[in-house]
Structure 1
């Protein structure tokens, strides 16, 4: 990606090299696909209550598992079960924030910066569903 597709040195002032542009686009696509594959293989955990609840997500945000430490919640107590549900949601949010940060760090330069911001905007990452 070192070659300038608008290289004036090849075509005079204002020249345009379509082959170089297409080659750069293909390289960026390959890099993006590789980064997405690495994210899909990454596991990220979110924890709350001193590790009583741990939620595991893939780097693309898929829920992989929920671990609950035994002895912290009574299965027959309505308040404990309500608290358990709230803690699972909090652990998921912790993991999701880490997933988003990891995805932004991994894909950020590829998802928007390489094409002058054309890769998307806001907090979402194109093609990943988040």
Structure 2
């Protein structure tokens, strides 16, 4: 008769050599790397520009708006609608660059978690 009891008491994986401490240590290292990358992103800035520099918007690496520059004398103060559209377009440009920077910094770290179907990170929700 076959038993469902693990080969090693206290080892729920039946003596397969699964090292929970090593897994926890790796997770802590990954967490620190993610925190470091997030700190770098918070300090980084990227610019989005439209109309040959008519409007430039600066955002942080985390996507927070930190500055807007409008070239002096380049718009009619009575017609603010065009300027508003340019600011939105410049923000979208800057935000896309910010997202790309975040992907470059955090992408390799997320891949290291082994996400996807059946990967080791999948069980952890990564």
TM-score range, shorter chain: 0.7 to 0.9
| Distance in 1, Cα, partners of 2:50 & 2:111 | 35
Cα RMSD after superposing both structures = 1.9
| Distance in 2, Cα, partners of 1:83 & 1:23 | 54
User: Residue deviations 1:23-62, cap 9 Å, x none?
Assistant: 1000000000000000000011000000010000000000
Stretches (4+) displaced over 6 A: none
Query: Which residue matches 2:10?
Result: none
Q: TM-score, normalised by structure 1?
A: 0.76
How far did 1:91 drift? 0.3
- Choose the corresponding residue for 2:21, options 19, 22, 25: 19
Return the index of the structure with the highest Cα Rg: 2
How far did 1:120 drift? 7.0
Q: TM-score, normalised by structure 2?
A: 0.78
Structure 2 unaligned residues grouped into runs of 5+: 1-13, 116-120
Task: Give the count of matched residue pairs.
Answer: 106
